[in-house]
C-alpha cells in the first residue's frame, strides 16, 4: 500500500480515526512509555535521584536482583502460591460464566431473565474493597453470619481468614462470585449468533437439551472460549492481587502470599524498587510465555488464536 493510498484512507475515515486517538494515547502514555522503567531492574536505583538517577549515571548491577530473588527463601513458596491460586481460579472461574450464560440462555420468561442478569452483573460494579468487606463481615469469628450458623450447629467458631486450610477456597469463591455474571455477557452475545435452525433440526432428530448444548452451543462458541482462555493465561502470575491484599494477613502468608503481594511489600513498603521491578519483569516474562504457548496449543487443536 502506497503512502498516497494510506493518506486517502485516513482522510476518508478521519472521524473514525479521531475517535480511536484517545484510546491510542492512553496506551502510549500509560502502557508503552512506562516500559522504559524496567531498566531499574538492572540498576541499584535510588528513588531520591529521580529520573536523572535512572537515565544519566545509573549504577548497573546486571542480574543481581534476579539472582537474589531466585535464591530467596520465599521464591518457591510465592511461586507455588501464585500458580496454585491462579489455576484454582481458572479451573472454577473460567467455566463459571459459560455455565451461567447457558442457564440464562434457557430462561424463557424475559422479565425473569432480565432480573437474573442484572443481579448476576451487579458484583462487577462493586469495588473490591466493598466485596472483601462483605466477606470479612460474613466470616467474622465473633458475630458473622457464618459464625452464627456454626454456633447453631454446635461447632466451635473458626477464623477462616487466618486459617491456611480455607484462605484459598475463600479467594476462589469470592472471585467466581464477583466475575461470573459480567463474564457471561460475551457468551450470551455469542449464543445470539447461533443459527436457530440448528436447534430445530436437533429437536426433530430427538436431541435433548444437554445434547444440544454439547453438540451445537459449545462448538459454536469454541472460538470465543479459546481466545478468552489465551487472554486469561497472560495473567497467570498477575491474578487477584487486590482481593488477596485486602484479605490476607501474616498467618496465611504460607498459602496466600503471591508474587504481586511480595512485590508490594519488598518494592514499596521496604523501598527496594529495583528488586521489585526485577520480580515484576520476571512475572511478566512468564505471562508472555504462557500466552504464546496457549495460543500455539489452541491453533494446533484447531481453535482460533489471537494472531
Residues 72-130: pLDDT tens digits? 988 999 989 988 988 888 889 889 999 999 999 888 888 988 899 889 989 888 888 99
Distance separating alpha carbons of residues 257 and 254, to the nearest angstrom? 6
Q: List helix spans (H) across the chain.
A: 3-12, 14-27, 50-55, 64-70, 75-93, 95-105, 110-121, 128-138, 145-152, 167-192, 196-204, 209-212, 218-220, 222-233, 241-247, 253-256, 259-263, 273-300
- Residue 121 resides in a domain: yes
Distance separating alpha carbons of residues 264 and 256, to the nearest angstrom? 14
- Residue 155 resides in a domain: yes
- Residue 176 resides in a domain: yes
- Residue 218 resides in a domain: yes
**Whole-Å CA distances, 223 to 163, 196, 218, 227:** 40, 19, 10, 6
- Residue 285 resides in a domain: yes
- Residue 267 resides in a domain: yes
Distance separating alpha carbons of residues 101 and 120, to the nearest angstrom? 10
pTM score above 0.85: no
Cell numbers describing residue 174: 469470592
What is the CATH number for 284?
Answer: 1.10.3720.10
- Residue 290 resides in a domain: yes
Residues 142-190: pLDDT tens digits? 888 888 888 888 888 788 888 888 999 999 999 899 989 998 988 988 8
Give the count of alpha carbons within 13 A of 36, CB side only.
Answer: 6
Q: What domain range includes position 194?
A: 64-300
**Whole-Å CA distances, 168 to 62, 130, 197, 247:** 36, 19, 44, 11
Residues 48-73: pLDDT tens digits? 777 777 777 778 888 999 999 999 98
Domain count for the chain, please give it: 1
Amino acid at each position: 500500500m502506497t503512502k498516497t493510498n494510506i493518506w486517502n484512507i485516513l482522510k476518508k475515515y478521519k472521524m473514525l480515526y479521531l475517535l480511536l486517538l484517545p484510546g491510542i494515547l492512553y496506551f502510549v502514555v500509560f502502557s508503552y512509555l512506562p516500559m522504559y522503567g524496567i531498566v531499574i531492574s538492572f540498576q541499584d536505583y535510588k528513588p531520591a535521584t529521580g529520573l536523572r538517577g535512572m537515565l544519566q549515571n545509573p549504577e548497573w548491577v546486571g542480574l543481581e536482583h534476579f539472582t537474589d530473588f531466585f535464591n530467596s527463601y520465599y521464591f518457591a513458596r510465592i511461586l507455588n502460591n501464585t500458580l496454585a491460586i491462579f489455576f484454582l481460579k481458572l479451573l472454577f472461574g473460567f467455566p463459571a460464566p459459560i455455565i451461567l450464560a447457558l442457564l440464562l440462555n434457557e430462561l424463557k420468561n424475559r422479565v425473569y431473565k432480565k432480573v437474573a442478569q442484572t443481579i448476576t452483573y451487579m458484583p462487577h460494579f462493586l469495588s473490591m474493597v466493598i466485596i472483601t468487606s462483605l466477606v470479612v463481615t460474613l466470616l467474622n469469628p465473633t458475630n458473622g453470619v457464618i459464625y452464627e450458623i456454626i454456633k447453631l450447629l454446635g461447632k466451635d467458631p473458626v477464623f477462616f481468614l487466618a486459617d491456611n486450610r480455607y484462605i484459598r477456597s475463600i479467594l476462589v469463591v469470592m472471585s467466581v462470585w464477583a466475575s461470573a455474571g459480567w463474564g457471561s455477557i460475551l457468551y450470551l452475545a455469542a449464543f445470539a449468533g447461533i443459527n436457530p435452525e440448528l436447534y430445530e433440526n436437533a429437536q426433530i432428530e430427538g436431541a435433548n437439551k444437554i445434547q444440544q448444548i454439547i453438540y451445537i452451543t459449545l462448538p459454536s462458541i469454541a472460538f470465543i472460549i479459546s481466545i478468552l482462555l489465551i487472554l486469561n493465561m497472560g495473567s497467570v502470575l498477575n491474578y487477584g492481587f487486590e482481593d488477596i491484599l485486602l484479605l490476607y494477613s501474616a498467618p496465611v502468608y504460607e498459602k496466600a502470599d503471591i508474587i504481586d503481594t511480595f512485590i508490594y511489600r519488598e518494592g514499596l513498603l521496604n523501598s527496594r524498587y529495583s528488586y521489585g521491578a526485577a520480580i515484576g519483569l520476571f512475572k511478566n516474562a512468564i505471562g508472555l510465555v504462557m500466552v504464546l504457548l496457549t495460543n500455539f496449543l489452541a491453533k494446533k487443536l484447531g481453535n482460533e488464536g489471537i494472531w
